[in-house]
Amino acid sequence: MSRRFPALAVLALASLAPAACGTTQSSPVPSVADGPAAPLSGSGRWLVDAEGRVVLLHGMNEVAKQAPYDPDAFGFGEDDVAFLGREGFTALRLGVDMRGMMPEPGRIDAGYMERLATTVESCKRHGLFVLLDFHQDGFAPKYQGNGFPDWMGIDDGLPNPPATFPLYYVLNPAMQRAFEHFWADDPIPGGDGSGGASYVLQAMEALLGRFGAEPMVLGADIINEPWPGADWQACAYDRVNGCPGEEQSKLVPFYRRGLEISRRVAPDRLLFVEPFVLFNFGQAPTTIPGPGPGFGLSFHSYALDVAGEEAVVRFGREAAERDGAPALVTEFGATTDLVLVERLLDQFDAQLLPWMWWAYGERIVADREEPLTEESITNPELLRSLLRPHAQVTAGVPTRIAYDHVTRVFEYDYSTARLDGGTFRDGADTVVLASPRIYPDGYSVEVEGAKVVSEPCARRLRLRADGAAAAVRLRIVPGGSC
């Protein structure tokens, strides 16, 4: 790739998109002993559960980019969700497509939301939190993209070459102009006077009205991988500042409107917002999400080199700490390179960040139409890497995570102080995933400051802090008398 287009080179690595989950009032929410207790909320840069414990989600993306735009129609069903929950994943990013939500200007398709609800309900039954993600790549099909309907694309008749992902971002003037009209919220021809941004916000209001009271719904990701338009160069080349002007003039007004809707319709849910997609290459910091309770920071890791990989997670953590918003890596991977995968996971652990893998259907179970069996797993070694030990929920605050994927030794340190200054109730323990895929012959535990209250070699190791302990240190090593 040309040295002149570093962002474009990274885009080529990104196979991006979201996931699915469902909701009604019939299914039980997992108990506090199983893992995070719903609902989740934000406390500074952390996600916390209903017990005030810090939650580090490890999850999956699953998205349907073709009609009818719900994963259930393409075989992502109860068996897949049960498999993810059983293995130890705790989140699913659910792709919501505007072509399904609003096939015509201003008309919400309630049937589409009910089809999504099938998956949300499955997630609830099996302990997966759902992030509802308004997903787009390259705006709309008429620009070789997806996510938004063609009727949303105002391009003033500019050239529309047949470039595809990721080249269309920098080579398609029509698509760039469509994004510029979107940020300006210019009226859509044939509509009711609303612009594309307003229509997305109308759809989000309907979606949160349907799912916002569901405890296992984390909230909404208002737009996947936004693009600034023709003036994208500052976001790619200014390695000191990024593009604060573009963010403040385009993203911030849209996100503030979204937050007003979220606070009104679903006041107990988070609104996750993303910097422009170029941030995901680790070249510069971001002003997003900005201060204001109710925001979460969603970003992706698709850098070209190790320096970029380390920078994107550092910039993300720093932005979350600056603005007091929980941070979540909502996409990474899109590869079967296990060396790269392990390196990225190490970086997330070093920054104490939760994450969601891209993507279940592309890399884990390719044929979701058939009944799920062990033979259905496309890349078992990749799955094993993603199931590294981790604290699903911590009665305190994480301070250090270290895992050696060769020796399979896991170390975890945390303080026992509760973020809000209160105390944890009896039974609200720390829960650590110790998957049998990592420890097929069992494991042994060394712990200071707490005692193990789960069965030997349990898949979910439970720790209860000693009353006087200010900190806990855990070490898990392979092999044990189980």
Q: Which domain CATH number covers 290?
A: 3.20.20.80
Give residue 3's pLDDT: 28
Cα angle value 63/68/71 (rounded, 5°): 30
Q: Is the pLDDT of residue 375 over 70?
A: yes
**Whether residue 426 is found in the same domain as residue 355:** no
Mean pLDDT, the chain, integer: 93
The domain that contains 415 carries what CATH number?
2.60.40.1180
Asked, for residue 409, whether it belongs to a domain, the answer is: yes
Which of 369, 387, 405 finishes a domain? 387
Q: Is the pLDDT of residue 231 over 70?
A: yes
**Whether residue 355 is found in the same domain as residue 481:** no
Asked, for residue 1, whether it belongs to a domain, the answer is: no
Q: What pTM did the predictor assign? A: 0.93
Q: Cα(394)–Cα(194) distance, rounded to whole angstroms?
A: 45
Spatial contact of 111 and 124, defined as CB atoms under 8 Å apart: no
Highest mean pLDDT among 3-7, 10-14, 139-143: 139-143
Give the chain's largest Cα–Cα span.
71
Which of 362, 387, 412 finishes a domain? 387
Spatial contact of 227 and 236, defined as CB atoms under 8 Å apart: no
Q: Is the pLDDT of residue 165 over 90?
A: yes
Q: Cα(450)–Cα(458) distance, rounded to whole angstroms?
A: 17
- Of 235, 284, 414, 272, the closest CA to residue 356 belongs to 272
Asked, for residue 316, whether it belongs to a domain, the answer is: yes
Residues in the chain: 482
Q: Cα(338)–Cα(87) distance, rounded to whole angstroms?
A: 19
The total number of structural domains in the chain stands at: 2
Report CA-CA distances (Å) from 358 to 17, 26, 93, 232, 478. 7, 30, 10, 25, 29
**Whether residue 60 is found in the same domain as residue 122:** yes
Q: What is the CA radius of gyration of the chain?
A: 22
**Whether residue 209 is found in the same domain as residue 139:** yes
Spatial contact of 112 and 70, defined as CB atoms under 8 Å apart: yes
Q: How many CA atoms lie within 13 A of 336 on its CB side?
A: 9
Asked, for residue 142, whether it belongs to a domain, the answer is: yes
Segment 63-90 mean pLDDT: 96
Helix (H, G, I), strand (E, B) or coil at 305: coil
**Whether residue 317 is found in the same domain as residue 401:** no
Position with higher pLDDT, 204 vs 5? 204
Structural domain containing residue 53? 6-387
Spatial contact of 64 and 73, defined as CB atoms under 8 Å apart: yes
Give the helix ranges, DSSP H, for 166-242. 168-171, 173-184, 196-211, 233-237
